Amino acid sequence: MERGSPAMTASPQNKKSSATRTRKSARAIAFSILLDVETKAAFASELLHSRLSRETDPREAALATELVMGTLRWQRTLDFLLERYTKRGAAKLDAEVRIALRMGIYQLRHLQRIPARASVNESVELARRARKSSAAALVNAVLRRVSAEKDKPLADFLSADLQPAERLAIEHSHPAWMVERWLRKFGQVKTVQLLAWNNQAPAQAISMVNPLRRAETVQSLKNAGFEIAPGRLLKDALIIRKGNVTSAPEFQHGSIAIQDEASQMVPLLLGVGVGDAVLDLCAAPGGKTLVMARLAGANALVVACDIHESRLRAMRERLQSAGVKNAHLIALDGTRALPFAIKFDRILVDAPCSGTGTLARNPEIRWRLRTEDLAALHSRQVALLTSALDSLAEGGRLIYSTCSLESEENELVVAEALAANSEFHTEPVQISEDKLAEGVRDRDIIDDNGAFRTFPPTHHTDGFLAVAIRRR
């Protein structure tokens, strides 16, 4: 990454040069990440974490993050504008040109603090550096036209005969099929709230890997300049209001973890007691396993499974770092009959899902997911839940959870898995009020059917559902 040397900071001219290099470097990082997200199905948050080191200038890291996440969140709107100014669809452009134009349009319409001239020139330079010099004139011409109209409302460019879902999809940058579903499920007001929420940067919620060092860790973060607020739902959760927590030594060393509050809530719903035999069927990256292992006690049996051995290796290191020694990690396919001779008192099935409750945090999901994917996910989720139920002890409790807003992955999965077996029944989830943040009551997070449910604009968390199942 480019940095100005200390010897070049004496004059205003040199300060300006240093700042320019910082912006270029941030744009180059963002461009490479967006290209990998587009062409390699990578995840932006993982790439940002791996490529923005503790040594990265904070301003550079902040701009790179803003460009990556903002461009991904507003991709549908950016592509609509791109098509308006190029008279061709985004898919017809080379990926490098498409991304340079998206980044440029995003800066011109959303980042008013950045001079338009810099946004245009740097986008042209990105295309050249990506060996697309032949497209540099196109990028320059398009962005100059965008710049001339950058203050015009988007509504001025929309056709009057657009269908409501299509209009919302362009205005709020979501796939039209997703908007149509949510309009049917949530209605107009809640859907617009959800769309708007998904285009904002969510707060960073963190959990303590070692609760006994909570006070020491919090003070260390504050001393380092982080602005910390209490959790909205959970007493033990913390919200980072200011600062990139991934740069903190506490994060690098594994003392804290980024974990949405709704996700932190899920393992608490199991009611794990000392000595309980616990199974976490879809365990990686391990945050929920860690909580349940501590609740079960050092002498309890805790089994954590995942289909990917590589994820278990990373999880093993995390648990060892946290001092958890009672968790046994096993690589297996949870959709098949489980190999355990014993029955478990508590089982968590935090199922792999579409992630539609996490689109503010993982904006690329909205561009990859297809409506037909929900049927495939449903089948896999039913298989996971069915195999887990067979390993549940008499009187035992299972929590089925997802970070999806879709009925196919939630209520319909539970209904299908239980339909053929009268041994099991759903029951209201329970959470001790002493775990909840001040002013929060269980009725705020438990719906009329007794399920734990969060709606992002209402609860300021990811969208989660968790259902409790008991074996008679």
**pLDDT for res 54:** 66
Residue 457 identity (one-letter amino acid):
P
According to DSSP, the β-strands at 327-331 and 302-306 are parallel
Q: Are strands 424-427 and 392-402 parallel, antiparallel or unpaired?
A: unpaired
Does 6 score more than 90 pLDDT? no
User: What tokens appear for 275 in the block?
Assistant: 């000595």
- Rounded alpha-carbon distances, angstroms, from residue 317 to 202, 320, 357: 28, 5, 28
How buried is residue 32: exposed, middle or buried, by Cβ count under 10 Å (0-12/13-18/19+)? middle
User: What's the CATH fold of domain 6-157?
Assistant: N-utilizing Substance Protein B Homolog; Chain A (1.10.940)
In this prediction, residue 336 carries a pLDDT of: 97
CATH 3.40.50.150 residue ranges in the chain?
Answer: 261-471
pLDDT (0 to 100) of residue 16? 41
64 within 8 A of 32, measured Cβ to Cβ: no
Q: Are 453 and 404 in contact (CB under 8 A)?
A: no
Active site includes 403? yes
| List of residues 6+ apart from 134 with CB closer than 8 A | none
Q: Of 282, 305, 353, 403, which is the active-site residue?
A: 403
Model pLDDT, residue 24: 47
Write the pLDDT tens digit of every residue in 225-254: 999 999 999 999 999 998 888 888 888 888
The amino acid at 144: R
Neighbours of 416 (CB within 10 A): 15
pLDDT given for residue 341 in this prediction:
96
pLDDT category at 10 given cuts 50, 70, 90 is: very low
Q: How confident is the model at residue 224 (pLDDT cuts 50, 70, 90)?
A: very high
Inter-CA distances, 122 with 108, 160, 265, 345, Å: 12, 35, 44, 59
Percentage above 70 pLDDT, the chain? 94
pLDDT(4) > 80 = no
Residue 45 parent element (H or E): helix 44-51
- Cα–Cα distance for residue pair 100/98, rounded to 1 Å: 6
Nearest 5°: CA angle at 187, between 184 and 193?
Answer: 125
Tell me the average pLDDT across 363-370. 98
The alpha carbon dihedral of 162, 168, 172, 174 has a sign of: negative
pTM (2 d.p.): 0.91
Q: How confident is the model at residue 55 (pLDDT cuts 50, 70, 90)?
A: low
Residue span(s) of the chain under CATH 3.30.70.1170 come to 204-256
Whether residue 22 is predicted with pLDDT greater than 50 in this model: the reply is no
204-256 is a CATH 3.30.70.1170 domain: yes
Which position has the token pair 């009329």?
448
pLDDT at 20 over 50: no
Enter the DSSP assignment of 335: T
Map residue 431 onto helix, strand or coil. coil
Strand ranges of the sheet holding 238-242, from the earlier edge strand across to the other edge: 227-230, 238-242, 204-208, 256-258
Q: Could you tell me what percent of the chain has a pLDDT over 90?
A: 84
Torsion of CA 286, 291, 293, 296, to 10 degrees: -160
Outline which parts of the chain fall under CATH 1.10.940.10.
6-157
Class of domain 261-471: alpha beta
Backbone Cα Rg of the chain: 24
As a whole number, mean pLDDT of residues 52-76 equals 90
Q: Give CA–CA dist 223/231, Å, rounded.
A: 20
Residue 202's φ and ψ, nearest 5 degrees, are -75, 155
DSSP letter assigned to residue 446: B
pLDDT in tens, 255-265: 899 999 999 99
Whole-angstrom Cα distance, residue 239 to residue 234?
A: 11
Residue 15 has pLDDT above 60, yes or no: no
Question: What pLDDT band is residue 56 in, cutting at 50, 70 and 90?
Answer: confident
Q: Which residue has the higher pLDDT, 174 or 55?
A: 174
Q: List, as one string, the DSSP characters of 257-285.
A: EE--HHHHHGGGGG---TT--EEETT-TT
Compute the average pLDDT of residues 14-40.
Answer: 73
| Residue-wise pLDDT tens digits, 134-176 | 999 999 999 999 999 999 999 999 999 999 999 999 999 999 9
Q: What is the mean pLDDT of residues 193-213?
A: 92
pLDDT reading at 23 higher than 80: no
Task: Give Cβ neighbours of residue 119 (< 8 Å, ≥ 6 apart).
Answer: 104, 107, 108, 111, 143, 147
Which region among 61-75, 86-100, 199-213, 337-351 has the lowest average model confidence (pLDDT)? 199-213
3-class DSSP assignment, residue 84: helix
279 strand-pairing partners: 303, 347
Q: Which of 409, 312, 304, 316 is nearest to 355 (CA)?
A: 409
Residue-averaged pLDDT of the chain: 92
Sign of the dihedral defined by the CA atoms of residues 17, 23, 24, 26, in that order: positive
Q: Which amino acid is at 371?
A: T
Quote the pLDDT of residue 428. 97
